[in-house]
Amino acid sequence: MIVDGATRFRSPLGDGMGVRTSVAALVIALALAVASPAALAAAAGGKQILTRAMGWEIELTAKGGLTEGGIGGFRLRSTGEAIAGRGSELECHKHLDEPVVSRIDREISATRPSEWPSTFTSAAGEAKGADVVTYELKFTRQGPRAATHTTSWTDLEAGRLPAALIDLVKDLDALKTSVLAACD
C-alpha cells in the first residue's frame, strides 16, 4: 500500500505493526543486494573500499613445457600482497600500490569470472606434444558472496580467450615479472 509517497510493509513478526520505508531506500537496498563488487565500487565514487572489504585473490600458474616445471606463477590479493615464482614454488613477495591493485580489480570485473568455462582447451589442444604449457587462472572472492572460479588453456590455444581475459593475463604476467625483478 502506498501512503504519502512511502510504502507500508507488515512486520515479519506478524505483530500487525506497519513499517514505513521510502521507495528510494528500498530500491537502494535491492541494488546493493544484487550488485557486483565493481558496481559497488562505482557507486562509492570509484573507491575500492567496498570491493576490498569483500576481498579477493587471483592466481595465474603455468605447468608443463619441456622441463614439465612450467614457467612460474603469480598470486595477487586485494590487499596488494603479491607473490611470484619462476618454477612451481612462489617465493618472491612484494606489496603492490593501490592504483595497480585497483586496475587489476577493474580488469577482473570485466572478465566476469562467474562466466569462465572450466577450460578453453579442446581435446586436440591437449594432445599437441610434450612442450605445451598449460595455464590456469583461479579467482577467489571472499565475503558474503564467496566463490572460486577457475579456467585453463594451453599456450597453443591462448587466442581462444576473450579480449578482457587476455588483457588481465598480460597484466598479471607483467606484474609477475616486476615482482621477480624486485627480488633479484
**126-149 pLDDT, tens digit each:** 556 667 888 999 999 998 889 999
Kindly state the DSSP code that residue 114 receives in the 8-state scheme: G
Lowest model confidence (mean pLDDT) among 31-35, 70-74, 156-160: 31-35
Q: How confident is the model at residue 65 (pLDDT cuts 50, 70, 90)?
A: confident
Chain centroid offset of residue 138 CA: 8
In this structure, what are the phi and psi dihedrals at residue 69, rounded to the nearest 5 degrees? -95, -5
CB 136 within 8 A of CB 172: no
How many alpha carbons fall within 13 Å on the CB side of residue 58?
A: 22
Q: Is the pLDDT of residue 172 over 70?
A: yes
CA dihedral 135, 181, 93, 156 (to 10 degrees): 0
Quick one: cell of 172?
598479471
Mean pLDDT of 7-14: 34
Distances in Å between the alpha carbon of 165 and those of 14, 125, 162?
50, 19, 5
Domain definitions of the chain by residue range: 2-34, 49-183
Q: Which of 18-27, 62-71, 73-82 has the highest mean pLDDT?
A: 73-82
Kindly list the distances between the CA atom of residue 141 and the CA atoms of 52, 56, 78, 108, in Å, as whole numbers in the listed order.
10, 4, 10, 11
Within a 10 A sphere around the Cβ of 10, how many other Cβ atoms? Answer: 12
Domain 49-183 has CATH 1.10.287: no
DSSP 70: -
Q: What is the pLDDT of residue 167?
A: 94
Q: How confident is the model at residue 157 (pLDDT cuts 50, 70, 90)?
A: confident
Of the pLDDT bands very low, low, confident and very high (cuts 50, 70, 90), residue 71 is confident
d(CA 124, CA 115): 23
User: What is the pLDDT averaged over residues 172-181?
Assistant: 94
pLDDT digits (tens, 9 = 90+) for 94-121: 999 999 999 999 999 999 999 999 998 8
